[in-house]
Every structure is written in C-alpha cells, then in structure tokens.
C-alpha cells in the first residue's frame, strides 16, 4: 500500500471538531472521526467533509457499539494506509466534572468511555495518543479509572506520561481554561532529543515571573473577542433573547466586569453554592475570559454577559474564545452550538499540544527514510 505523506489522525469523541481543526492547521491528515451527537455530527460534516478534497470518514455512532475493526478497515480502503499515526480525543467528561458534588460522578457510565478510548488504542496501535479531559479526572474518587488506563497501556506496549494540567491562557487562548492532557507513545518508539513535554508556554501575564525569560511576552485578554464586529451573514452571530426584567438587570450591571451583586440579581439559589458568584456577571475585557462551558451563551450559567451590551455573548463570541476560525459554522441552534463549543478543545491549545507529537513524527519519518 502507498503511505500517506502527511501523518494520520483519528479523532475519537470528536464533537464539533476543535481537536480535528487543530490537527489540520498544523499539517496532520484527518482520516476518521467518531461522534454520536447528531448536531455535532452535522457541524463536523459541514466543516470537514462537505466540498472538501479527500475528507475524513465520519462515523456517526455510539463508540460503545462501534468496533475498532469497523473503523480501521474503511480507512485502509479509502486512504491506502496500514496504520494510523495518532489517536486524539476527549471522552465525555461530565462524570469527572467539578460541578458534581460529594461522590456524584463516581461509577458514572460515561467514565467508562475513558477505558473504551484505550480499547481503540489497543486495536489500532497508533504511534502516539492524546487524551484530554477536565481536571476532575485527577480527583481521588476517580483514581481507579486512571489507574486502570495506565495499567492497560503498559500491558499493551505503551508508555504514558503522567497527566498534566494545562491552562489555555498560557498558550494564546483568551480564556482561563484548565484541562488535563495525557500523552502516550508506543514502546517501540524512542523520544528524540528535541522532545519537550509539556509544550512550552507561549503567553504570560506581565506580572508573571516567566516574563523575565521571554523577549516578547504577550498577555491574551478578552478584548480580542469583541474588537472585531460580527458579520451580518454569520448564522452564529446570535445571542439569547432575554425578558424585559432581565434586560433591565443587565442595564444596571456595570460595564466591563460588573457582577450580579452590583445589579442586585441575587436569588435564593445563589446563596447555597460559592460557585454561583459569577452568574449574570459581565465579561471583563482586560483579563482572560471565563472558561467557555456548555452554557457559555447563557448569563445564568456563569460570567457570560456581554461586556458592554445588555445580553449574553453570541455563539460567535464563544467560538472566538475557543479560537475557532471565523469560517467555522456550528449547527443545531444556540443551545446545541453552545454545548459543542464548551465541550471542544480550544483550537490554538490543540495546535500547541499536537505540535509536540508532529515534531516527533517528522523526526521519526526522516530517520527511517
């Protein structure tokens, strides 16, 4: 079989395609993606497949019902390749979320998808793999899942780096967003002398100590999201419609960082949990933005009120926070689009992470030419 010139990638739990977008941007060849959500599949299809040359195969399936052999055989037929270089993906993370209290989330069926991810690694035998998840994955209550994952990796010929927490704001993404990344490689492959993990930070606060080691430090602020006007023909330039009562509350909230306390939007539920401190708050443009969650266009779900206008941010604003290109269109309406965006890997962070693997594959390819 002829080999593909570009290094090949399969995206498991692909969602809208944030990780896929990152892989394409730095020169990987997407050969397949697996996703179960209908709206996310529509988004993925429209952005990666329709009218594209040699697009990836999209498997619109529950990964628990889709066997690895049924994925790799169509890939071999379409792309004439014997193996896949990299598997990427973020298994659904709700069971590991910090928003779950006490022991909720323990034994959540969705947590088993982390182990299903490894079954694909076992069968497809990629050279490298990357897992992305929320920081709650590292909590003591979920230890058995992570321990089993590492044990399976070792038993099947993979070495895996310890899990690391990366904050997207340190890599050019204009939001505070901490996520866990796990990097693995096949044991028959050696790291090069250029290998560097975690990826070096590219952006720092002006007050951070790291600045002294950087000639041109940058600090990513939320103002980059709102300086560019929204295109009138952009189907994602939409925001939630609010009641007149809420609009009045928003109007009384100080611009550029005001909180609900200042506008007296205090409900009984807000007193129960400290996590409600930011709901109905305005985004502050002189700081990195808040973490884009699955409710990122709804001001009742967090600090998602437009910094100057009296409504929540638009789907396009949320997508910009996740560094999706302006041409990337989300399907399924505002609620589904917000969920897709909140679940995605920020494109720029994905590029930084995957660059480490691409450098290794480039060196490996040159070595064995």
In tens, the pLDDT along 132-173 reads 999 988 988 888 888 988 998 999 999 999 999 999 999 999
**Residue 296: left if φ>0, alpha if ψ -120 to 50, beta else—which one?**
alpha
Q: What is the predicted pLDDT for the residue at 264?
A: 64
* Alpha-carbon gap, residue 354 to 191, rounded angstroms: 15
Residues marked as catalytic: 93
- Residue 245 forms part of a structural domain: no
3-state secondary structure of 8: strand
pLDDT above 70 (res 103): no
Looking up tokens 């909720």, which residue turns up?
104
pLDDT tens-digit series, residues 210-265: 554 444 457 789 999 999 999 999 999 999 999 999 999 999 999 999 988 776 66
Give me the half-sphere count of Cα atoms (radius 13 Å) on the Cβ side of residue 150.
11
Q: How many domains does the chain have?
A: 1
Mean pLDDT of 69-90: 93
Q: What's the pLDDT band for 87 if we cut at 50, 70, 90?
A: very high
Q: What's the pLDDT band for 4 if we cut at 50, 70, 90?
A: very low
Q: What is the predicted pLDDT for the residue at 213?
A: 45
pLDDT above 80 (res 29): yes
- Parent domain of 22: 8-205+346-367
Question: Which of 159, 239, 170, 237 lies closest to 209, judged by CA?
Answer: 170
Residues, the chain, total? Answer: 369
Q: What is the predicted pLDDT for the residue at 260?
A: 80
- Residue 361 forms part of a structural domain: yes
Ranges of H-type helices in 182-279? 223-226, 244-251
- Residue 46 forms part of a structural domain: yes
Task: Read off the pTM.
Answer: 0.91
- Residue 312 forms part of a structural domain: no
Reported in sequence order, the residue ranges of the chain that DSSP labels E, i.e. its strands, are 8-12, 29-35, 57-60, 86-89, 128-134, 158-160, 164-167, 178-186
Per the CB < 8 A criterion, the answer to whether 185 and 127 are in contact is: yes
Distances (CA, A) of 196 to 192, 212, 214, 347, 355: 9, 21, 17, 20, 10
Q: What is the predicted pLDDT for the residue at 268?
A: 62
- Residue 249 forms part of a structural domain: no
Which residues make beta-bridge pairs with 32? 10, 57
Chain mean pLDDT for the chain: 89
- Residue 319 forms part of a structural domain: no
pLDDT above 80 (res 316): yes
* Alpha-carbon gap, residue 206 to 165, rounded angstroms: 22
- Residue 160 forms part of a structural domain: yes
Q: What is the predicted pLDDT for the residue at 262?
A: 77
Question: Which of 9, 19, 89 lies closest to 56, judged by CA?
Answer: 9
CATH of the domain at 91: 3.40.50.150
pLDDT above 80 (res 104): no
Q: Which two tokens stand for residue 305?
A: 């009120």
Residue 90: Cβ within 10 Å count: 27
Q: Between these two residues, 80 and 28, which has the higher pLDDT value?
A: 28
- Residue 91 forms part of a structural domain: yes
Q: What's the pLDDT band for 101 if we cut at 50, 70, 90?
A: very low
């Amino acid at each position: 079989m002829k080999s593909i010139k570009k290094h090949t990638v399969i995206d498991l739990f692909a969602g809208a395609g944030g990780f896929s977008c990152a892989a394409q941007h730095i020169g990987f060849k997407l050969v397949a993606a697996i996703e179960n959500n209908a709206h996310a599949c529509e988004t993925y299809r429209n952005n990666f497949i329709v009218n594209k040359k040699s697009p990836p195969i999209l498997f619109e399936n529950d990964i628990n019902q889709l066997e690895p052999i049924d994925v790799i055989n169509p890939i071999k037929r379409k792309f004439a390749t014997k193996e896949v270089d990299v598997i990427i993906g973020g298994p659904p993370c709700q069971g590991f979320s910090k928003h779950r209290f006490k022991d909720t989330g323990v034994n959540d069926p969705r947590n088993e998808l982390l182990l299903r991810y490894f079954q694909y690694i076992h069968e497809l035998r990629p050279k490298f793999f990357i897992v992305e998840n929320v920081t709650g994955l590292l909590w003591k209550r979920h230890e058995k899942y992570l321990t089993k994952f590492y044990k399976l990796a070792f038993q099947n010929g993979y070495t895996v780096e310890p899990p690391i927490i990366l904050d997207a704001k340190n890599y050019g993404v204009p939001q505070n967003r901490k996520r866990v990344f796990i990097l693995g490689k096949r044991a028959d492959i050696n790291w090069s002398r250029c290998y560097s993990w975690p990826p070096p930070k590219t952006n720092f606060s002006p007050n951070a100590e790291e600045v002294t080691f950087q000639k041109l430090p940058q600090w990513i602020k939320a103002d980059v999201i709102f300086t560019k006007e929204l295109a009138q023909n952009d189907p994602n330039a939409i925001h939630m419609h609010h009641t007149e009562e809420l609009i009045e509350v928003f109007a009384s909230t100080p611009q550029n960082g005001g909180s609900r306390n200042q506008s007296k939007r205090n409900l009984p539920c807000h007193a129960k949990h400290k996590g409600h401190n930011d709901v109905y708050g305005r985004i502050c443009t002189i700081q990195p933005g808040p973490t884009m969650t699955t409710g990122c266009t709804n001001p009742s779900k967090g600090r998602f009120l437009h910094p100057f206008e009296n409504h929540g941010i638009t789907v396009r604003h949320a997508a910009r926070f996740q560094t999706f290109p302006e041409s990337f269109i989300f399907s399924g309406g505002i609620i589904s689009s917000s969920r897709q965006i909140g679940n995605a890997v920020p494109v720029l962070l994905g590029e930084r992470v995957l660059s480490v693997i691409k450098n290794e594959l480039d060196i490996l390819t040159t070595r064995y030419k």
